[in-house]
Structure 1
Amino acid sequence: MPDHDFRHELAQQLRVDSVRASDAGGSGHPTSSMSAADLMAVLLDGYLRLDYATPDNPANDHLIFSKGHASPLYYAMLKAAGAITDEELLSFRSFGSRLEGHPTPRIPPTDVATGSLGYGLPVGVGLALTGKRLDQLPYRVWVLCGDSEMAEGSIWEAFQHAGWAGLDNLTVIVDVNRLGQTRETMLGWDLDGYVARAEAFGWKAIAIDGHDVQAIDAALAQATSTTDRPTVIFARTHKGHGVKAVDDQPGKHGKPLEEPAEAIEELGGVRSLSVTVQTPRPGSPCRFSTDGGALPRWEIGEEVATRQAYGKALVELGGLRGDVVVLDGEVSNSTMSELFAKAHPDRYFEMFIAEQQMIAAAVGMQARNWVAFASTFGAFLTRAHDFVRMAAVSRADLRLCGSHAGVSIGEDGPSQMALEDIAMFRAIHGSTVLHPSDANQTAALVAEMATLPGISYLRTLRGKTPVRTSPDENIRVGGSRVLRSSSDDVLTIVACGITVSEAEKAADVLESSGIRVRVIDCYSLKPIDGDTLLAAAAETRAVLTVEDHWPEGGLGDAVLDALAQSSARPPVRKLAVGGMPVSGKPDELMHAAHIDAEAVVEAARQMLG
């Protein structure tokens, strides 16, 4: 039988240590931690199966604090489990400490960074999917949510997908403490309202008193015995529970307690309880068999869409590597990831029109060492920008592909045109941004993405482009192709993707009138081939960039960044999409945007006088 008195004392210790850590750090969220202390005490003492001494044990359960601001509670749990010392606990929020204001993977066994509300639960769905279909291990995923984040749309993307997928290895605990940062939440303590919503998404929903350790124990027991659906426990709690000065009081969010010594005394004083957390039964993750293969190759002169090359490259990569998995946002017949789905159905995940959940699921999968590629229209990835940003904070290795880039997609119109994507991904810390102009470049870069750390982004095109790169050429991240060059060049044209063909056409026209032009296919935008650009800038009188993207943050800005170190930089002009596009044929739209060959010729002549 569980020792309820011990669990009550453990909860009090978690509260005290939350107060102490926040006081030592001079900031933090002790009241948000205190409300969930009973919930986490029972979980830690009886239900979590996690070997803290071996945090990379593949059979371990996973605990995600989607309510990341309750980090003092999370760190107090680590102390109780023996994973950190009291000294480290009191380093909370100090420069250099592993115990940051919100949890990150710097402190094992933390899978992902949290703190952007609405992020942790979707990642938990990804981990649960991984347990079921990839690792094929019986570990459970536990997620602590706050009631304020229940207003986030991404939470309901997660509820919907988990319910549809029947993820009975996922248990969510919602700390319904009623108070947000500035006021009461939408539903307050309306547990029936929360239960109705969850049940509508196909979940088993349980409402309890979140300060009753026996009720918590019974609810967790129900969750672990439910075998056909995920479970959510809505726990009615008091923010700041146990200390009269802050218990259920507004205006106390995100602040250390004003009288910490008195609060600690009221909670029964400092304790030194330790918990022997259950360890999981040994288990090894599934390994998928492979039948080999080779990257696809195309002959020079063929007409192939880079999105088609992406799909075919994924198929072959999946045949070479059993750890490659692919997700798509229900546009796989456009991104062409459907080719992988047909070839390797056990490793393909349909995420539907839920881009935040798709990115989060990929983050969960890579946390378990799967090599995840996720794709949708480039325009729709902007919807998930925060999740990509949080993936970088999580030190995640993620491979993303955005198809249907720029005005060149044609008649679909501007709602479908990725025109901000390069800027968005260039701004992500440690990211790699690639925009191949032909099929052989695409295949080579897809293969290299599988080995890249951090967030990598491949931009692909809807329409076909001529294959101009040999399949044997050394295409690499950080590289470029000089398509034409001579000692008599007076102008350098830098292009990427669809505009490479326009740059070549323009070069033909200019050279026919005696103007020698260097053309660079800048397929790697970050990192960019600075040496080639600096050499071209030193050897020609002007540099002209042309891109199917807004002028802000795209190719032109990447080139300017690379040339900033040049003391003798020549004039640089950017051609980019300047006005809001409309529907039309690709050539009409590129002409209207002033990024076609005619516009390049005109700009070149203006620059050269």
Structure 2
Amino acid sequence: MEDYHKPDQQTVQALKNIATRLRINSIKATTAAGSGHPTSCCSVAEVMSVLFFHSMKYRPEDPRNPNNDRFILSKGHAAPILYAVWAETGYLKESELFNLRKVDSILEGHPVPKQQFVDVATGSLGQGLGAACGMAYTGKYFDKASYRVFCLLGDGELSEGSVWEAMAFASYYQLDNLVAILDINRLGQSDPAPLQHHVEKYQRRCEAFGWHAVIVDGHSVEELSLEDDGWHGKPPPKDMAGERDHEPQSRIISCNKRLSCSSPTEDEMSVSLQVSVAIGCAVRDRNVVFASTFATFFTRAYDQLRMAAISESNINLCGSHCGVSIGEDGSLRWV
């Protein structure tokens, strides 16, 4: 594993510099907005740098190209660093980051599909991996294409049962084109995440669901300047942000190498088409999707249906056995 895709030193330094700029711009954006989750952004700076500028294949000028690798930010509250990434690619202007959470800006507090680089809305925790499964299932079995799907989850949402349902789905359908990245930063809104930094326990759980799980140091390059000091979900005040900016800025080392995004393989199937997995299957107009269950069971999926609406998803819901009497599996009695 040590030499797998091992980049040269110039590439390593370029990725370090990108991670530092992503961290700085996330802090600046949340400070300007006066709200947001800077620590949630900072904890994945290196991950985002390596994903978007070393591992993923996509066309930055065409975010919804059907051949592109897909990325789902399941921990949607870290949206500012996603916006910082797209500013780094040149798709967004860096000055636009200061419009975060403004009423007339598309850069909302959580990712939404009005942003061309976002396929599904996230932020209601525990749903991103299900959508990623839908995208990966489509890629493998319908498109039969080489694009991959990357999903970044926070450790807080790993308490959601829907995450593990998606884990089971991916294992059963052998979605080897799907990569789930678990950001174990221990931070919760009020208390620590249940397993805190016991990453080996997360690893065993993932393996129990049939996944190949590898523990890596998400900060092998730098430590976080805002890590675990009571700042989860709180932007620093402007005077403090200035002080915090200076230290990361000093870590940017002159580097002659410029990194560019790798182009995808153009092998998706051409198509023309007008609950989490269903949402993922439907994105980029890949399929006409129908999800069916007993009508009354849709009440338990209300959160997914709400996010589907926010995602502007074209899915069709079919509820059966919706009679008004108890016969023929009709209504369930309300007490």
TM-score for the superposition, normalised by structure 1: 0.51
Structure of greater Rg = 1
Q: Choose from 9, 14, 20 the match for 1:12.
A: 20
SS, match of residue 216 in structure 2: strand
- Overall identity of the aligned pairs, in %: 43
CA distance in 2, matches of 1:149, 1:72: 18
Structure 2 distance, partners of 1:149, 1:212, is: 24
Shift in Å at residue 57 of structure 1?
A: 1.5
Query: 2:262 matched to 1:278?
Result: yes
- Aligned counterpart for 2:228 among listed residues 217, 227, 248: 248
Q: Distance in 1 between matches of 2:58 and 2:332?
A: 43
Residue by residue over 1:452-471, the C-alpha shift from the partner in whole angstroms, topping out at 9 and shown as x without a partner, is: xxxxxxxxxxxxxxxxxxxx
Contact 2:295–2:321 (CA under 8 A) maintained in structure 1: yes
For 1:147 and 1:105, the matched residues in 2 are separated by 24
Deviation at 1:45, TM superposition (A): 1.6
Aligned length: 321
Q: Secondary structure at the match of 2:292?
A: strand
1:418/1:88 Cα in 2 relative to 1: closer, same or farther (>3 Å)? farther
- Are residues 1:132 and 2:116 paired? no
The 3 A distance-change label for structure 1 pair 269 and 104 is farther
1:364 aligns to what?
280
Aligned-residue offset at 1:361? 1.2
Q: Quote the offset at 1:257 in angstroms.
A: 1.4
Q: How far 1:64 sits from its partner (Å)?
A: 0.4
C-alpha separation between the residues in 2 aligned to 1:134 and 1:194?
31
Superposition pairs of residues 437-476 of structure 1, within 5 angstroms = none
**Distance between the aligned counterparts of 2:234 and 2:210, measured in 1?**
37
1:177 maps to 2:162:
no
Aligned partner letter, 2:283: A
Shift of the alpha carbon at 1:365?
Answer: 1.4
1:147-226 mapped onto 2 (5 Å cutoff): 147-212=155-220
Rounded Cα–Cα distance in structure 2 between residues aligned with 1:275 and 1:384: 42
Of 116, 119, 129, the match for 2:124? 116
Counterpart of 1:401 in structure 2 is 318
Kindly report the root-mean-square deviation, in angstroms, between the aligned alpha carbons of the 2 structures: 2.2
2:299 corresponds in structure 1 to 382
Q: How far did 1:323 drift?
A: 5.8
**Shift of the alpha carbon at 1:270?**
10
Task: Give the AA of the match of 2:298.
Answer: L
Which runs of structure 2 are paired with 1:92-111 in the superposition (5 Å)? 92-111=100-119
Structure having the higher strand fraction is: 1
Partner of 1:297: none
Q: Counterpart of 1:63 in 2: which secondary structure? A: strand
Structure 2 matches for 1:318-337, cutoff 5 A?
Answer: none
Distance 1:46 1:377, change over 3 A: same
Question: What are the Cα deviations for residues 510-534 of structure 1, in whole angstroms up to 9, with x where unaligned?
Answer: xxxxxxxxxxxxxxxxxxxxxxxxx
Paired position in structure 1 for 2:331 = 417
What's the TM-score, normalizing by structure 2? 0.90
Flag structure 1 segments of 5+ consecutive residues without an equivalent.
Answer: 214-236, 288-321, 325-358, 420-578, 581-609
Unaligned runs of 5+ residues in structure 2 are: 1-6
Matched, 1:264 2:245: yes
Report SS of the residue matched to 2:316: strand
- Measure, in 2, the Cα distance between the counterparts of 1:404 and 1:53: 47
Aligned partners of 1:197 and 1:33: how far apart in 2? 25
**Distance in 2 between residues matched to 1:185 and 1:391, nearest whole Å:** 27
Deviation string for 1:523-575 (max 9, x for gaps)?
xxxxxxxxxxxxxxxxxxxxxxxxxxxxxxxxxxxxxxxxxxxxxxxxxxxxx
CA contact (8 A) 2:101 2:107 kept: yes
Letter in 2 for 1:363: I
- SS of the residue corresponding to residue 95 of structure 2 reads helix
Q: Secondary structure at the match of 1:90?
A: helix
Partner of 1:296: none
Alignment check: 8 A CA contact 2:26 2:42 kept: yes
Question: For 2:57 and 2:328, how far apart are their aligned partners in 1?
Answer: 54
Deviations 1:48-90 (A, max 9, x none): 1111211231110000000100011101101111110011111
Per the TM alignment, residue 418 of structure 1 is displaced from its structure 2 partner at its CA by: 6.1
Q: Is the 8 A contact 2:112 2:120 kept in 1?
A: yes
Residues 118-173 of structure 1 deviation map (CA, whole Å, 9 limit, x = unaligned): 01111000000010111111100000100000000000010000011110000011
**Given residue 199 of structure 1, which amino acid in structure 2 is its aligned partner?**
E
How far residue 242 of structure 1 moved from its aligned partner, in angstroms, is: 2.7
Question: Does the aligned pair in 1 maintain the 2:14–2:259 contact within 8 Å?
Answer: no
CA contact (8 A) 2:59 2:68 kept: yes
Q: Tell me, yes or no, if structure 1 residue 25 matches structure 2 residue 33.
A: yes
Measured after TM superposition, the shift of residue 285 of structure 1 is 1.4
Is 1:60 paired with 2:40? no
Letter in 2 for 1:119: Q
Provide, for residues 28-54 of structure 1, a one-character-per-residue CA deviation record: whole Å limited to 9, x for no partner. 111110011011111112101111211
Structure 2 Cα separation of the partners of residues 160 and 179 of structure 1: 26
Which residue does the alignment assign to 2:4? none
3-state SS of paired residue (2:215): strand
Q: Which amino acid aligns with 1:115?
A: G
Task: Tell me, in whole angstroms, the C-alpha distance in 2 between the residues paired with 1:263 and 1:102.
Answer: 24
Alpha-carbon deviation of 1:397?
A: 1.3
Q: How far has the Cα of 1:406 moved from its partner? A: 3.5
Measure the CA separation in 2 of the matches of 1:285 and 1:269. 47
Deviations 1:213-247 (A, max 9, x none): 5xxxxxxxxxxxxxxxxxxxxxxx9xxx532xx32
2-structure distance, mates of 1:88, 1:406: 52
SS class of match (1:131): helix
Letter in 2 for 1:276: S
Structure 2 letter corresponding to 1:382: T
Secondary structure of the structure 1 residue equivalent to 2:214 = strand
SS at 2:107's partner residue?
Answer: coil
Measure the CA separation in 2 of the matches of 1:270 and 1:92: 25
**Deviations, residues 169-212 of structure 1 (Å, cap 9, x unaligned):** 00011110011111111111111100100001110000011101
Taking the aligned partners of 2:326 and 2:290, their CA distance within structure 1 comes to: 23
The 5-angstrom pairing of residues 558-577 of structure 1 reads none
Contact 1:58 1:283 in 2 (8 A): no
